[in-house]
Amino acid sequence: MSTVELTKENFDQVVSDNEFLLIDFWASWCGPCRQFAPVYDSASERHPDLVFAKVDTEAQQELAAAFEIRSIPTLMIVRDNVAVFSQPGALPEAALEDVIGQARNLDMDEVRKSVEEQQAQQAQQGQQAQQPQQEQQ
């Protein structure tokens, strides 16, 4: 299976249309990115049920910035519109297969519950941080 080129124009559509998406953030001048490319392409052939995508960080600087990509290559896995994995560095084939297997085995109901709990906790911390400021006024 060939990989999908992600751009700021098609990103939201591709992510929302696919339950399981692997994203390789890369650039043509990056040596480790070029070394990782055949490993990534090979995995896409072994997993035709998954969508493998690439973001050229030079051409798509807004996308790279939105995901705070600071080092390339960076691999991200998105399941059901939730980023469940993100790690910089070129993974060897066995490690990539292991990550894919772990992502496949995630209980997405548990992941969503955890995300909701974290968001609620952050919102509560934000409210607590604002209270002392309001009391000082």
Burial tier of 107 (Cβ tally within 10 Å: 0-12, 13-18, 19+) = exposed
pLDDT score recorded for residue 44: 95
pLDDT score recorded for residue 88: 95
72-124 pLDDT, tens per residue? 999 999 999 889 999 999 999 999 999 999 999 989 888 888 888 888 888 88
pLDDT score recorded for residue 45: 94
* Higher pLDDT, residue 48 or 132: 48
User: What confidence tier does 132 reach under pLDDT thresholds 50, 70, 90?
Assistant: low
What residues are annotated to the active site?
A: 30, 33
Neighbours of 85 (CB within 10 A): 16
